[in-house]
A and B are shown apart, each in its own frame.
Chain A
């Protein structure tokens, strides 16, 4: 059997920041559910409290305890976890953006090309994914277009949105930036959007982990730790 080609897939910065990010995202999501459980109702508009009609309620007590941080009902503790790791995520993300934009990583590896977003190409990629046919050979050295769109979507759409809606929930920050509250149509709308985006982030993580397992977990996880990635040999060989 032919020895697979080994390439250096992820830079040191990407690898270190990825793992800080991975840990922090889990902690903010779980502490976020703890905070949500203190009033497991979502409203739309400027105000919303128990006498008002909610948009959506998650049971009487919200999410199960195993999904929250801490695992008992502890709003004060949940907030401490949430804000500490939210700050860490902000610094981590800024470092990532600074390095990745200046090094050309974003332009070279993450932004889809014009040819890639052509409907026929997109459709072929979707079909390949559904049939679990992953790129091999030279094609496996780059991100495929669905991968690019997922990463770009999280980095440039979901992350800024979750930060902005999080800040909109701060009565202090609202005094400084009332236009932000107006943009989201009120603090309670911002809270609802914050929750919806968090669910999308959770969905991204679930798909991301499933793809890692399907694409060969050993090779994928190793590439994010050591940077070394064995390129899957093409079927033709």
Chain B
């Protein structure tokens, strides 16, 4: 009798160990399977729909000066260090301009001086990295909505794509990001040229970066060169709407 119980117990323990091993090995195999990835990715759509419904147009919390991080950490590229970028930087970005193109009535080339002459917004917000850390910084810039209203979007436009000067890996077109029009016209979405009251440092994206509060750090594209209004994202880069999105990260980075 006791012998039989022991056998059952052994069966159970060994069985669960084998099951656990299979499960974990299986999970790794599933992580590599494109069709299973599509199943997992369906959660992003649910999150996006749920958050658009709940969050709507609400504003990200704005902090006080006393809440600022002592040092605002930079991440990713700290300096694009390309021939073009180094030349622009050496000339204090006087030669730089933001090109606005795509599905718009009026293509624009806005110099830093022209952007700084436009009505600005200053906000102290929390920057959340996908890695888990947060930093609080004070941003000053032009609301993206103001630039888009100047350029006048065509009715087909659905997304704003932002092209950057940094190439994290050579020969792949460099860093880019995209946001939908809800975020593009959100009052806190800025083309920021200053951090904590000073010109944007190179490590944080000089001369101009995106601030799209309510989303994670990798959406906050640095070193902006050109923005483009488009109807779809699938012809750009590897088609997922951004540098990190092409490498498996969510396009909707509100979580």
Q: A and B from one assembly?
A: yes
Would you call B12 an interface residue if the criterion is a C-beta within 8 Å of the partner chain's C-beta atoms? yes
> CA of A121 to CA of B109 in the docked complex: distance in angstroms?
78
List the B side residues contacting A77 at CB < 8 Å. Answer: 31, 248
**Contact residue among A70, A84, A171, A218 (Cβ-Cβ distance under 8 Å from B254):** A171
List 26 A-B pairs, Cβ < 8 Å. Answer: A38-B132, A46-B134, A47-B135, A49-B134, A49-B135, A52-B69, A52-B71, A72-B28, A75-B130, A79-B250, A80-B41, A80-B43, A170-B51, A172-B215, A173-B54, A173-B55, A176-B51, A176-B58, A178-B61, A187-B134, A188-B133, A188-B134, A191-B132, A213-B13, A217-B13, A221-B12
Using CB atoms, name the residue of chain A closest to B186.
A175
> CA of A171 to CA of B46 in the docked complex: distance in angstroms?
16
Q: Do A79 and B214 touch (CB < 8 A)?
A: no
> CA of A169 to CA of B31 in the docked complex: distance in angstroms?
24
Q: Do B40 and A76 touch (CB < 8 A)?
A: no
Q: Do B40 and A84 touch (CB < 8 A)?
A: yes
Would you call A36 an interface residue if the criterion is a C-beta within 8 Å of the partner chain's C-beta atoms? yes
Q: Do B43 and A83 touch (CB < 8 A)?
A: yes
Nearest chain A CB to B253 CB, angstrom units:
8
Q: Do B214 and A172 touch (CB < 8 A)?
A: yes
Interface size class of A (residues with CB under 8 A): 35 or more
> CA of A221 to CA of B9 in the docked complex: distance in angstroms?
11
Q: Do A171 and B213 touch (CB < 8 A)?
A: yes
List the A side residues contacting B46 at CB < 8 Å. Answer: 87
List the B side residues contacting A69 at CB < 8 Å. Answer: 24, 27, 31
Which secondary structure dominates where chain A touches chain B?
A: helix
Number of CB contacts from chain A to chain B under 8 A: 148
**Contact residue among B40, B61, B69, B213 (Cβ-Cβ distance under 8 Å from A47):** B69
Q: Which has the most chain A C-beta neighbours within 10 Å: B69, B130, B131, B135?
A: B131
Q: Do A49 and B69 touch (CB < 8 A)?
A: yes
Interfacial residues of chain A within 166-193, with CB under 8 A of chain B in the complex: 169-176, 178, 181, 187-188, 191
> CA of A67 to CA of B197 in the docked complex: distance in angstroms?
44
Q: Do B247 and A76 touch (CB < 8 A)?
A: yes
> How would residues 114 to 156 of chain B score, 1 for a CB under 8 Å from any chain A CB and 0 otherwise?
0000000000001011111111100000000000000000000
Q: Do A39 and B47 touch (CB < 8 A)?
A: no
List the A side residues contacting B59 at CB < 8 Å. Answer: 175
Q: Do B61 and A174 touch (CB < 8 A)?
A: yes
Q: Give 9 new A-B contacts, CB below 8 A, not counting A72-B28, A169-B128, A173-B51.
A: A38-B131, A47-B134, A69-B27, A71-B24, A84-B39, A84-B40, A170-B254, A170-B255, A175-B60
Nearest chain B CB to A20 CB, angstrom units:
14
The 4 closest A-B pairs by CB, nearest first: A172-B254, A76-B248, A49-B133, A51-B71
List the A side residues contacting B8 at CB < 8 Å. Answer: 217-218
Would you call A43 an interface residue if the criterion is a C-beta within 8 Å of the partner chain's C-beta atoms? yes
Using CB atoms, name the residue of chain A closest to B60.
A175
> CA of A66 to CA of B248 in the docked complex: distance in angstroms?
22
Interfacial residues of chain B within 232-251, with CB under 8 A of chain A in the complex: 244, 247-250
Interfacial residues of chain A within 124-171, with CB under 8 A of chain B in the complex: 169-171
Would you call A112 an interface residue if the criterion is a C-beta within 8 Å of the partner chain's C-beta atoms? no
Would you call A227 an interface residue if the criterion is a C-beta within 8 Å of the partner chain's C-beta atoms? no
> How would residues 54 to 94 of chain B score, 1 for a CB under 8 Å from any chain A CB and 0 otherwise?
11101111010001011101000000000000000000000
Using CB atoms, name the residue of chain A closest to B216.
A171
List the B side residues contacting A81 at CB < 8 Å. Answer: 27, 31, 40
Using CB atoms, name the residue of chain A closest to B255.
A170
> CA of A158 to CA of B40 in the docked complex: distance in angstroms?
25
Would you call B167 an interface residue if the criterion is a C-beta within 8 Å of the partner chain's C-beta atoms? no
> CA of A49 to CA of B73 in the docked complex: distance in angstroms?
7
Would you call B37 an interface residue if the criterion is a C-beta within 8 Å of the partner chain's C-beta atoms? yes
> CA of A3 to CA of B135 in the docked complex: distance in angstroms?
66
Q: Do B12 and A181 touch (CB < 8 A)?
A: no
**Contact residue among A39, A83, A181, A191 (Cβ-Cβ distance under 8 Å from B44):** A83
Q: Do A51 and B43 touch (CB < 8 A)?
A: no
List the A side residues contacting B129 at CB < 8 Å. Answer: 39, 49
**Contact residue among A43, A70, A172, A181 (Cβ-Cβ distance under 8 Å from B255):** A172
Using CB atoms, name the residue of chain A closest to B47.
A83
Using CB atoms, name the residue of chain B closest to A76.
B248
Would you call B42 an interface residue if the criterion is a C-beta within 8 Å of the partner chain's C-beta atoms? yes
